[in-house]
Structure 1
């Protein structure tokens, strides 16, 4: 090999090493930037629901109320004071039961609707229960007109078989729960209704 050829080959080797060094450095910068960006996004709540914004969003959703926080009705004695049975005595607890407290709310006006493909009509009083905090009840009150409309539509789709038997009434309860939760999810992004109860039920 001549001296000229050797001189020409030397820069090529240096250039190749430099090229790989630059590629390696670039990859390290890209990976480091990706990891750093991901950590920032997670901590700021942009992804993963963590961080301050994620915590604020979670706090804005109604929370389940533990049974220990339940506000229970206490028997009143004479003069409007608590009776002896409730004074200083712990609330009796049996086996089983719900894990979370139930909050009840009765819709003020009763509902009257024709039955599907029938000459009969039904009149019902409706109360709801939720295992979540008071925001679910507040949502019901805020959107009561929409809730009432959904209940009337569900009643209008009810046949005679669903109002003359206990099983049919239970199916109707489930349909009303779905109808009410549908309204709340549409309006507030969260349902929360656990059950519907009939406080009055008349078929004519």
Structure 2
């Protein structure tokens, strides 16, 4: 029996090496394929790319509004940057929308209150404005929730007001995104601001 074990030893060694080589080759193919697909995506090519001219755009989703006189080439570059969160106000036109009425809320702790008038801006088309009006109740509720959590001292400072604007923008965008799949609000403005 020992002779047959010795005869099978080189065959087993060879089979083990073959398995290792196959596993290594498979790993290289997977890593290389992933790198190739990532390269295509980064260049704006391939089936996974959502931008570019080849990608079909959903007409029901908001689109950036290009200012008059801006070339299509400039707009295309600016659209790509906007996909990464950098909207260029020199390329895209802002629409300002005042929210009806004032918002009044007790501040955190209950002894003080805040009353603000709010307007928003968007660089996107009428879809965002329509969504804002359609979901007015949800947006107003989100705003009031944010206001009620504010510190009475902090909202009297410039830094506190700027932080509040950012919180309100995020709350409005979140309310719209939950209901429509897209926020589109780029900034929030105070049209009146009273604390007591």
- Deviation string 1:175-195 (CA, Å, 9 cap, x unpaired) is 000000000000000000000
User: In the alignment, is the contact (CA less than 8 A) between 1:129 and 1:194 conserved in 2?
Assistant: yes
Paired position in structure 1 for 2:35:
none
Matches within 5 A, 1:126-137: 126-137=118-129
Say whether residues 1:55 and 2:56 are aligned partners: yes
Secondary structure (helix, strand or coil) at the match of 2:101 reads: coil
Distance 1:97 1:181 in 2: 19
**Gaps in structure 1 of 5+ consecutive residues:** 1-46, 71-95
Secondary structure (helix, strand or coil) at the match of 2:150 reads: coil
Paired position in structure 2 for 1:146:
138
User: In the alignment, is the contact (CA less than 8 A) between 1:125 and 1:200 conserved in 2?
Assistant: yes
Q: Which has the larger radius of gyration?
A: 1
TM-score scaled by structure 1? 0.59
CA root-mean-square deviation: 2.2
Distance 1:161 1:196 in 2: 21
Secondary structure (helix, strand or coil) at the match of 1:55 reads: coil
User: In the alignment, is the contact (CA less than 8 A) between 1:110 and 1:124 conserved in 2?
Assistant: yes
The 1:155/1:106 distance shift into structure 2, 3 A limit, reads: same
- Deviation string 1:129-150 (CA, Å, 9 cap, x unpaired) is 0000011000000000000000
Matches within 5 A, 1:11-30: none
**Gaps in structure 2 of 5+ consecutive residues:** 1-46, 71-87
Say whether residues 1:65 and 2:57 are aligned partners: no
Paired position in structure 1 for 2:195:
203
- Deviation string 1:49-70 (CA, Å, 9 cap, x unpaired) is 69xxx625x3221011112279
TM-score scaled by structure 2? 0.61
Question: What is the number of equivalent residue pairs in this alignment?
Answer: 129
- Deviation string 1:96-115 (CA, Å, 9 cap, x unpaired) is 95331110111111000011
